Structure 1
Amino acid sequence: MIYLDYQATTPLAPEARDAMLRWLDGPGGTGFGNPHSPHRMGRQAKAAIELAREQVAALFPAGGKVVFTSGATEAINLAIRGSGKGGTVSVSAIEHAAVLDTAQDAGKRHVLNVAADGQCNTKQDLPADTRLVCVMQVNNEIGTIQPTLEWHRKAKASNALYLCDAVQAYGKIEVTGADMIAISAHKFHGPKGVGALWVREGLDLDEVQTGGGQEFGIRSGTLSPALIAGMGAAAAEAKDRLEQDRDHVETLWKRALELFEGWKLNGSAEARWHGNLNIRRDGLDVNRLMSDCREVMFSAGSACASGSGRTSHVLEAIGLSKAQAKSSIRLGFGRYTTMDEIEQAAKAINSAAREQEL
């Protein structure tokens, strides 16, 4: 099989797996301790978590604190619900459902438009009562990179906070300033089930998940040393390989554009993470294409909404018709993708697409 769905999840890095193993010990081992216990095993587990906290923090802006969560969805809920009540939450039209639905549920939601290239223009007005602005750094469906620094400045000028969903950016490009930043480990070769919310220094959040008062008193629940150690190791590896990974992706991107000549690119080619190739072929039956190319793992849209039957809200937001959106596919590649895999996948997909035109 050829895996080209890096926006949905990434392969676990060997370094992350190795870091996790000690903390998965069963009877007779010493790695299964509760990190909130005062005895020796508990202190060892806590030390592993604090090391990982430092490793994860190294890819964030200076200052602030890393709050571990079960993933980006929980981190986003903590940020939106814990940063205040009342007022309007302004969100871009192409945010992940975790932002869109939580903003809607938390109170008044205002949607910011995006251009045909997928960028959210900062010249738009914010409602006078906006308390929080949410604009993601890299879109998960079309890879568009947003002007996050400008949105942060605009939010501050409006006396609002700024939350950045950096799930698709962290470990790949520099994560820029914000008041809060949400990430998920399995998007940068860490394990599933763990993520984090970075909170700038001086910002206090209300506790959303009540209980034992762990994680600075704002996120209760026993932490998993294994998952967090894996996340920390993945973050450290991403930091060490940042340029190497970026250069590799750029090489794959250029070759992929050649191989899929004749397909239309969705979103910007320049303001984009080049590990995301979202393309369309008018009239294409994507379900049939995926059935004919079962050995190639790619997406017909966002994996988080797969099976819903709904047209991608991201592709509609950039002006595509329902028919155009439904004839689009997303290929995601990264660190462990080879050139041979890209070429084999393109051959299979192009051949199957041509068959539909006969």
Structure 2
Amino acid sequence: MKAYLDNNATTRMAPEVLEAMMPFLTGKYGNPSSFHSFGSEVMDAVERARESVAALIGAERDEIFFTSGGTESDNTALRGACAINPLRPGLVVTDVEHPAVLRTAEMMESEGTPVRFAPSLKDGSLDLDTLFGMITEEVGLVSVMTANNETGAVYPVREIAEVARSRGVLVHTDAVQAAGKIVIDVGDTGVDLLSLSAHKFHGPKGVGVLFVRRGLQLPPLITGGHQEGGMRAGTYNAAGIAGMGKAAELAQEHLSGGPEHMMELSSRLERGILDSCPGSRVVAADVSRLPNTVTVLFRGVESEAVMTLLDMEGICVSSGSACSTGESSPSHVLTAMGIGPRDAGTAIRFSLSRYTAGSEVDCLLEVLPGMIDKLRKISPYAD
């Protein structure tokens, strides 16, 4: 592999994270829930990790609940919050949410939950006037992602939370794609629930977190044992949790130094593509975006053909969400922005990380223009 530019799908595990996990994959194999010291020392590591994740998002340690990942956290938040008050069972989500939220909302709607889908605007921002109008007396939860996984657009969660909470409505944000890339502070944004996934910020796969604001009692999604104060049953994934804790520490260190590295490389990549590939267009170019994400429409060129040729060159990119790979329909995010099926089918997402090297961007820019030119010459859809 010459260049990995698909970091919104997953990130490489930091070496320090693997080192933090290894003791719990080898000698320290005790069950954290056991009474004896061999288990309790593992529980100590779980609690240290809880403190580290809490620090990353400005939370208290008792507001952090470990899960298997972002999807479980989202499901727990949506189903739990809408079940709290039978007089306010309604749910509002945006039409550009990750499938973990969008499909869950659709399933809940089929089960009888009143669900409203707030629209997006053509520039990639949210139609806030319509969204605010949807927050009525029957609504119990509003769920808006912190940043979009396909376009990188960053949404005004704080403003939305202020309006929702003034109307007595809980607020959840899926911050999976934002963690480690921009500063997150639950105290500042005012959200009640927040989802994270370790593998998006150089931690292990299979472990995540749901932040639940102190005083809010959610019914559990998974029942059984007493783990996580009864919020989430099941034996602790001690190695994964320790890894997530270390990843959170490293992410906080990175953010304290600023995202200049990713921003510089993203700008270089974006300028290079626009200058060398006429007819290309950056999606959500005029709104606030994550410092690592650039999604481009290559008019007249099918994204699968581009991805195939880049893959042959050892360059990894995506056409959108990894969780939607294999679907034949256009991206729901691009469709929500008013981008037609033909243009949506030309989208390529380039996503960087703090480990991305300038040579990887240079490698892409060296081969991509020729590929686009070649494909346009043989494409029946080229203008």
State the TM-score, normalizing by the size of structure 1: 0.96
Maintained 8 Å contact 1:172/1:245: no
Distance, in Å, in 1 between the alignment partners of 2:190 and 2:262 is 24
2:109 maps to 1:102:
no
Give the Cα–Cα distance (whole angstroms) in 2 for the partners of residues 241 and 105 of structure 1. 38
Whether the 8 Å CA contact 2:144–2:157 is kept in 1: the answer is yes
Report the counterpart of residue 342 of structure 2 in structure 1: 323
Please identify, of 249-258 and 263-272, the stretch whose mean Cα deviation from structure 2 is larger.
263-272
- Residue identity in the other structure for 2:364: A
2:57 is paired with a residue of what secondary structure?
coil
* One-letter identity of the residue aligned with 1:220: A
Rounded Cα–Cα distance in structure 2 between residues aligned with 1:268 and 1:159? 34
| Residue of 190, 199, 202 corresponding to 2:203 | 190
Matched with 2:175 is 166
Q: Show the counterpart of 2:237.
A: 224
Partner of 1:21: 22
**Which region of structure 1 is more displaced relative to structure 2, 241-250 or 16-25?**
241-250
Deviations 1:24-83 (A, max 9, x none): 01xxx2x11110111111101100000000000001234461000000100011111112
Q: Equivalent residue of 1:206, what SS?
A: coil
Q: How far apart, CA to CA, are the structure 1 residues paired with 2:150 and 2:190?
A: 23
Contact 2:135 2:164 in 1 (8 A): no
Residues 195 and 210, structure 2, Cα contact 8 Å, conserved in 1? yes
In the alignment, residue 119 of structure 2 is paired with which amino acid? N
Q: Which letter does structure 2 place at the counterpart of 1:216?
A: G
Structure 1 residue identity aligned to 2:194: I
Tell me the equivalent position of 2:302. 285
- Displacement of 1:208 in angstroms is 1.6
* 1:263-321 alpha-carbon deviations (Å, 9 max, x no partner): 20111344000211100111112222122111110001111110111210000111100
Poorly superposed stretches of 4+, deviation over 3 Å: none
Q: For 1:49-198, what aligned pairs fall within 5 Å after superposition? A: 49-63=46-60, 65-85=63-83, 87-106=89-108, 107-124=113-130, 125-128=133-136, 129-175=138-184, 176-198=189-211
Residue of structure 1 in register with 2:353 after alignment: 334
Q: 2:41 aligns with which of 44, 60, 70?
A: 44
Corresponding residue of 2:363: 344
The answer (yes or no) to whether the contact 1:84–1:206 under 8 Å persists in 2 is no
Three-state SS of the structure 2 residue aligned to 1:340 is: helix
Task: Answer yes or no: is the 8 Å Cα contact 2:202–2:247 preserved in 1.
Answer: yes
Matched, 1:276 2:293: yes
Contact 1:259 1:343 in 2 (8 A): no
Give aligned pairs, total: 354
Aligned residues of 2:30 and 2:38 also touching (Cα < 8 A):
yes
Partner in structure 2 of residue 308 of structure 1: 327
Task: Please tell me the root mean square deviation across aligned C-alpha atoms, in Å.
Answer: 1.3
Deviation at 1:247, TM superposition (A): 0.9
Confirm or deny: 8 A CA contact 2:183 2:255 kept in the other structure.
no
CA deviation map 1:330-352 (0-9, x unaligned):
00101111111101112222211
Query: Does the 8 Å CA contact 1:130/1:158 hold for their aligned counterparts?
Result: no
Residue ranges of structure 2 left out of the alignment (5+ in a row): 378-383
Q: How many Å separate the matches in 1 of 2:15 and 2:6?
A: 19
Deviation at 1:216, TM superposition (A): 1.4
| CA distances 1:4-38 after superposition (whole Å, capped 9, x unpaired) | 0010001101111110001001xxx2x11110111
Q: Secondary structure in 1 aligned to 2:46?
A: helix
Distance 2:90 2:317 in 1: 36
Of residues 86-95 and 34-43 in structure 1, the stretch that sits farther from structure 2 once superposed is 86-95
- The code of the aligned residue for 1:303 comes to A
SS at match of 1:216: helix
Instruction: State the Cα distance separating 1:357 from its structure 2 match.
Output: 2.4
Shift of 1:244: 3.6
